[in-house]
Amino acid sequence: MDKRFEQAAFFPADILLPQVSEMEKWPVVACDQFTSQPEYWENAEKIVGDAPSALRLVLPEAYLNSAEVNRRIAGINASMEGYLADGVFKTLPDSLIYLERTQSDDRVRHGLIGCIDLEQYDFTPGSGALIRATEGTVLERIPPRVRVREHAPLELPHVMLLIDDPNGTVIEPLAGETGRMETLYDTELMLGGGHVKGWRLTDEQMSRAAAALNALKSPEVMAEKYGMVGAAPLLFAVGDGNHSLATAKACYEKLKKETPEAQWASLPARYALVEVVNLHDDALTFEPIHRVLFHVDGQDLWAAFRAFYPAAHTGVGTGHTVEVCGQGLDGAWTVPAPSAQLAVGTLQAFLDDYCKRRPEVEIDYIHGDDVARKLGSQPGNLGFLLPPMGKDQLFRTVMTDGVLPRKTFSMGEAQDKRYYLEARKIR
């Protein structure tokens, strides 16, 4: 791997790009979106038709628990092998890609695509790793995702890592230098996803990016930003794709047990393709992830909430307040003097306890206010809408508290998530 990037654990990669005539049919949104809206994925199927597409290479989580999931996984692996054999991809050796993503709100988000060393990533709460999860990892969610990845010859990334770069030293300088780069793709994204353009960095630009990343993790910078002298540096925080990255880590750790240690560095699965985004990018917004309960009795839920938080009351008040919709309970619930740092932590502590005692109740995590209200207002359902988290709380909270509560935030609306476009061989 490129020695310039060794300290940052982020490297240029052999990146595969599709060579297809209908490029707008290739990229598809991250698989963990629209899980309660299978019609979205049905529409994607209609748009793609028989054209080569990343849709054939990923498993939408809307189908993760379906009876035909094994057939779908086998089909994904077969499509990967077929695309490789048919020359659908071209390889960009040892490359970084700078991209500009025009979102559904017309704002432009800037990113940098490369691969990270999974040896430097740890999702364990309180870890001192250079690359850390931002939320608690649900271990039960990993095995089904391992089944998708463990025999796959390719990975397609929807993981987005955040850097805390308030002065814009890593990615932002590239925005004015695209004229010096090779243009790689320029395409619309289906179903309201906006537009994406990508360019290949020059060697000189990669050197500057490496130096800037290395500077961000220096003890002096860490102490200045977070007031924590001697703390283990945190360079990358997982913004999107926590469980996907944890799955990549699990697959790599399994391979390590089957491989002599001297060969670990050469394992393609040791690395994972990701997009890096500056936390301070003006187009990057933190959206709350709402909760919708299914097969729930609203009055029973409110009684249980009052038992869990005896001081809780309806209406807006001092403390943590969440919006409730459905079953005639529309309004707000407030917990005074909460022990958690964030409202999502207060709510999730209760929901984890309640759902454990009410196994018939199902929970889904929903992006978008309108979708959450629509689902929460349907018979038998109840929705909770949460306030957003401030950007300035992210890195400091991860460094001090270990992780945020599960599903605390989402970076933008569902259609603005990363679309699968690039790929990398992992076998």
Residues 203 and 306 in one domain: no
Q: How far is CA 59 from CA 72, 87, 122, 183, 422, in A?
A: 7, 22, 24, 29, 16
Residues with Cβ within 8 Å of residue 19, at least 6 apart in sequence? 87, 88, 89, 90
**Using CA atoms, how far apart are residues 169 and 160, in angstroms rounded to an integer?**
18
How much is the pLDDT for 173?
Answer: 97
Instruction: Say if residue 244 is in the same domain as residue 339.
Output: no
pLDDT tens for residues 318-373?
999 999 999 999 999 999 999 887 899 899 999 999 999 999 999 999 988 999 99
Q: How many domains does the chain have?
A: 2
Say whether both 271 and 158 belong to one domain. yes
Kindly state whether residue 173 falls inside one of the protein's structural domains: yes
In a shared domain, residues 254 and 380: no
Are both 305 and 418 inside the same structural domain?
no
Whether residue 245 sits in one domain with residue 380: no
Task: Give the model confidence (pLDDT) of 203-248 as tens digits.
Answer: 999 999 999 999 999 999 888 888 888 889 999 999 999 889 999 9
pLDDT tier for residue 300 given thresholds of 50, 70 and 90? very high
Domain that holds residue 313: 286-387
**Cα–Cα dist 96/98, whole Å:** 7
- 311 and 299, same structural domain? yes
Query: Is residue 85 in a domain?
Result: no
pLDDT-based confidence at 94, cuts 50/70/90?
very high
User: What is the distance of C-alpha 400 from the center of its chain?
Assistant: 22
Same structural domain for residues 274 and 341?
no
Pair 281, 294 in one domain = no
Q: What is the pLDDT of residues 365-419, one digit of tens each?
A: 998 899 999 999 999 999 999 998 888 878 888 887 778 887 888 777 889 999 9
State the number of CA atoms in the 13 A half-sphere of 191 facing the CB: 24
293 shares its domain with 239: no
Lowest mean pLDDT among 74-88, 127-141, 235-249, 411-425: 127-141
**How high is the mean pLDDT of the chain?**
94
CA distances from 83 to 73, 114, 276, 296, 419 (A): 15, 22, 27, 45, 18
Q: Which two tokens stand for residue 125?
A: 């709460």
> What b/e readout covers 140-179, taking b as 16+ CB neighbours within 10 angstroms?
ebbebbebbbbebebbbbbbbbbbbbeeebbbeebeeeee
Same domain, 175 and 315: no
**Residue 167: pLDDT above 90?**
yes
Asked if the structure places residue 229 within a domain, the reply is: yes
Domain with 369 in it: what CATH number? 3.30.1760
Same domain, 233 and 366: no
DSSP 45-89: HHHHTTS--GGGG---GGGTTSTTHHHHHHHHHHHHHHHHHTT-E
